[in-house]
Amino acid sequence: MQITCWGVRGSLPAPDPKNNRYGGNTSCVSIETEEQILIIDAGTGIRSLGHELVGSMKPIYVVLTHVHSDHVEGFPFFKPLYEASRPIHLVDHVCNNTRWSLLETFDGFHFPLEPGDIPARVQRVRDEAIPFLNESGFDLSRRPVNHPGGAYGYRFSFNGETVVHIPDNEIDPPGDVVLSFDELVEFCAGADVLVHDAQYVRDDLPEKSGWGHSILPDVCRLAREAEVDQLVFFHHDPERTDDALDDMQAQARNTLSEHGIDCTAAYEGLTL
């Protein structure tokens, strides 16, 4: 299993010379096995991933954590969509009794093409996401997390290795709690790699409380209590420069190294 981060920024693409090292593209991660590739979220990072996949004809599956724009806006620029007969399975996103497909980004209004113009062999999957993906050969589960409008976090296993990917989640929200801290620890327990939202630092509170994202100290506490091997913190704030991310990474490493946990700020091209 190879996991690659193609977009690690949250909320809004942030191309800027000060952000070049970590990257300015929004949320997109791929999980690739020898037979197929699963893509979680279609933020602007999916454009670079598309270049890598052109010509391979490996089946592609796309699933979403939620439908905020930073998780879907790159989809029309995913090159395999323009390869004739390329098999692409798009799993419908169903959350809070609302169903949505990435094909809706092709509405002829926000983007000039419509679904019928796509050359690839796109299959819209209306089945329940997890049973469908399990039958397709992916060993994964998911849980609703704390995020305005609703979102999911995913847990994957392959050949005894486990990765948990939760790009948007407020560990300690001010209002209703969908996923308690104890439940979150249980969901992440023992993972080899935990990829988790750490968009904010303490100085962002209380202003950003309730916006659906976590502060880094809470994420470090989660990594410790869940006893993961490695923390990759993700969904960087658009205003967070490379230098600021270096500082956050140094602080987190300081906290986690005595517990034997590796820590990295996610960057574009990070492969695990």
Residues that bind Zn ion (CB under 5 A): 10, 68, 70, 168
CB of 235 to Zn ion, least distance (A): 6
**Buried-exposed string 176-199: b where 16+ CB fall within 10 A, e elsewhere:** eebbeeeebbebbeebebbbbbbb
Reported as half-sphere exposure (CB side, CA atoms, 13 A), residue 81 has a value of 23
Looking at the DSSP bridge assignments, the partners of residue 151 are 145
Q: C-beta of 45: minimal distance to Zn ion in Å?
A: 12
- Identify whether the C-beta of residue 43 lies closer than 8 Å to the C-beta of residue 25: yes
Q: Which is nearer to Zn ion, 106 or 152 (CB)?
A: 152
Minimum CB distance to Zn ion, residue 27 (Å): 6
Query: Given CA atoms 242, 198, 164, 124 in this order, what sign does their dihedral have?
Result: negative
Q: Which is nearer to Zn ion, 68 or 143 (CB)?
A: 68
Residue nearer to Zn ion on the CB measure, 70 or 73 = 70
Q: Which residue's CB comes closest to Zn ion?
A: 68
Looking at the chain, list the stretches that DSSP marks H as alpha helix, in order from N- to C-terminal side. 46-53, 129-135, 181-188, 216-225, 242-257
How many Å separate Cα 48 from the centre of its chain? 15
| In the complex, least distance from residue 153 CB atom to Zn ion, rounded to whole angstroms | 12
Q: Of the two residues 92 and 168, which places its CB atom closer to Zn ion in the complex?
A: 168
> Nearest approach, Cβ of 41 to Zn ion (angstroms)?
8
- The residue type found at 128 is E
Q: Which is nearer to Zn ion, 92 or 170 (CB)?
A: 170
